[in-house]
Structure 1
Amino acid sequence: MSYRSPCAACEFHGRRCHENCIFAPYFPSTDPERFESINRIYGARTVGTMLQQTPVHFREDAVETMLFEARARIEDPIYGSVGIISRMQHEIVVARYKMAVMQLQIA
């Protein structure tokens, strides 16, 4: 088994990065914050398990989704991404209201 320079996950845990490391394609050592955010919310073991259970062609999307949710959860520990969605829905309602008022003024 050959080794490579450690990915961000292996570097974070102070271990060697094997050529078949499940984390390496998604967590480059040049962007350690990417792994640290996901690890903080989900834990490396859970992320590894999720990646193993996800078909290879969906793994990048899975990592991006976990990263989005992890960053949202760090920013807002109570609501996470649901808080973002709620705020956006509120902004849509406000914009529709303003648009209706402007259409009435024009008419």
Structure 2
Amino acid sequence: MTLKGATSNQACAACRYQRKRCTPECPLAPHFRPEHPMIFKNAHKLFGVRNILRILEQIDSNYKTEAMQSIIYEANMRDQFPVHGCLSVICDLQYQIRQAEEELYNVLTWLSFYKQHHVTTLSQNVDHGLLQPVLPILSCDNANVCINAFWLQETYKSSNSNQNEIYPFFDNTEG
């Protein structure tokens, strides 16, 4: 399809969709490339051309590209997930943040525990080769069963016998 006074390669996806001439001053041309008409169709279906232009007029020119990227992303997510749109992505990211915060809290708790209660005991036992250091690494096997290294207690050789025993981490848990 050719437009009056312009070839189909010159018209942006917005002007091509609206079947009007795309001028060099077209505010939508930098954001809706002619080779991606579905991007404009999604944004048009969700927001409408008038609302998109109103948003672009109200925003400082430094933030127009970011605003259009946000509009396009939200429109594409709404097309992909009609019921929730980008809400599912937001909830997933918030869940990942919560998990990372909990893991950080656990690591900091263990670090403070080691610093307060076992700095001297651990350093003496490591010097004598009785205790292997615990690394906070999450290990997973082929069946997707994951084990946190903090859940395991290290064994040490008792000075009274040659058998391996569990190191008494929680003997002095009174606080």
Question: Which interval holds the TM-score relative to the shorter structure?
Answer: 0.7 to 0.9
* 2:108 is aligned with 1:103: no
Structure 2 unaligned residues grouped into runs of 5+: 104-137, 139-146, 154-175
For the aligned residue pairs, the C-alpha RMSD in angstroms reads 2.5
Shift of 1:87: 2.2
8 Å contact 2:77–2:85 — kept in the other structure? yes
User: Is it true that 1:33 corresponds to 2:68 in the alignment?
Assistant: no
1:59 matches 2:64: yes
Pair 1:23 & 2:9 matched: no
Q: Do the aligned residues in 2 keep the contact of 1:22 with 1:52 (CA within 8 Å)?
A: no
Equivalences, count: 104
Q: TM-score, normalised by structure 2?
A: 0.51
* Matched AA of 1:45: R
- 1:73 counterpart (75, 78, 102): 78
Q: Deviations over 1:24-46 (max 9, x none)?
A: 11111122122112111111111
Query: Aligned residues: percent identity?
Result: 25
Q: Does 1:83 align with 2:88?
A: yes
Q: Which runs of structure 2 are paired with 1:42-53 in the superposition (5 Å)? A: 42-53=47-58
Unaligned 5+ segments in structure 1 are: none
